[in-house]
Amino acid sequence: RKEVEQDPGPFNVPEGATVAFNCTYSNSASQSFFWYRQDCRKEPKLLMSVYSSGNEDGRFTAQLNRASQYISLLIRDSKLSDSATYLCVGGPPTSGTYKYIFGTGTRLKVLA
Amino acid sequence: EPEVTQTPSHQVTQMGQEVILRCVPISNHLYFYWYRQILGQKVEFLVSFYNNEISEKSEIFDDQFSVERPDGSNFTLKIRSTKLEDSAMYFCASGQGIGAFFGQGTRLTVV
């Protein structure tokens, strides 16, 4: 089983829509999680950290469910500029590892 | 805003040649990483570096690869005897423990 799994999409949504991405992870010792955004042929950019209590940054809300080993990202009022690939990432400490483990990413296209 | 910088942005090399990819991490960061991304595929971990030594490496990071922090600011990835399958985008990243911040990448093309 892959360490971090995501639905690759693409998710095609109209502007203004609300869209949710999910991610599951296999290593129950993972302690930190993140969402990154990657535009085509660019570097991954840190979008937000994910906490069990949930956290919100403007139109973006992230949630972690440790019992289910499940991470979510909700984007409200989608903009054309939100079109990108969203990467779910498990971070250290992960059983003593020093690495960030990336999912394959979920592609989002926001349509005018 | 501080950022990770990588040079060159694009490198074309002949199979069997050695290449050195360079990175300047964010100055107060302690953890450094190299990742690669083959076109259309996921971001793959290569190696992490902390306290002037490798802290972890993946199966990809074999004897062909090495990393160095030669002068306290630069962080390099050397690939000896490049192969066609080494063609990819190579990303350097640095962090302080809460997320890693990536450079813009070096696109390596082995011909």
- Number of residues that this document lists for chain A: 112
pLDDT in tens, B4-14: 999 999 999 99
Q: pLDDT confidence of A96, banded at 50, 70, 90?
A: low
SS3 of B64, please?
coil
Residue in chain A nearest B103 by alpha carbon: A43
Contact B98 A49 (CB under 8 A): yes
- pLDDT tens readout for residues A44-70: 999 999 978 889 999 999 999 988 889
Cis peptide before A14 (omega within 30 of 0): no
Question: A55 in contact with B at a CB cutoff of 8 Å?
Answer: no
B56 CB neighbours in chain A (<8 A) are 97-99
Q: What percent of chain A has pLDDT over 70?
A: 92
Q: Is the pLDDT of residue B95 over 80?
A: yes
pLDDT attached to residue A20: 96
What's the start-to-end Cα distance of chain A, in Å? 37
Query: Residue A91: which pLDDT band, with cuts at 50, 70 and 90?
Result: confident
In this structure, what token pair is assigned to residue B85? 């399958």
Element (H, E) at A96: none
Residue B97 — pLDDT band, cuts 50, 70, 90? confident
Q: What is the mean pLDDT of chain B?
A: 95
> Which of A87, A99, A104, A106 to probe by mutation at the B interface, max B CB count within 10 Å?
A99
Residues A102, B100: C-beta atoms closer than 8 Å: no
- pLDDT for A28 equals 64
Residue B33 and residue B31: Cα distance in Å, rounded? Answer: 7
Spatial neighbors of B13 by CB under 8 A, at least 6 apart, are B19, B82, B108, B109, B110, B111
- Indicate which of B43, B57, B94 best probes the interface with A, i.e. most A CBs within 10 Å of its own CB: B43
Q: What is the pLDDT of residues B61-70, one digit of tens each?
A: 999 999 999 8
pLDDT at A6 over 90: yes
pLDDT in tens, A24-44: 998 765 678 999 999 999 999
Q: Is the pLDDT of residue B16 over 90?
A: yes
User: How high is the pLDDT of residue B62?
Assistant: 94
- The pLDDT of residue B103 is 98
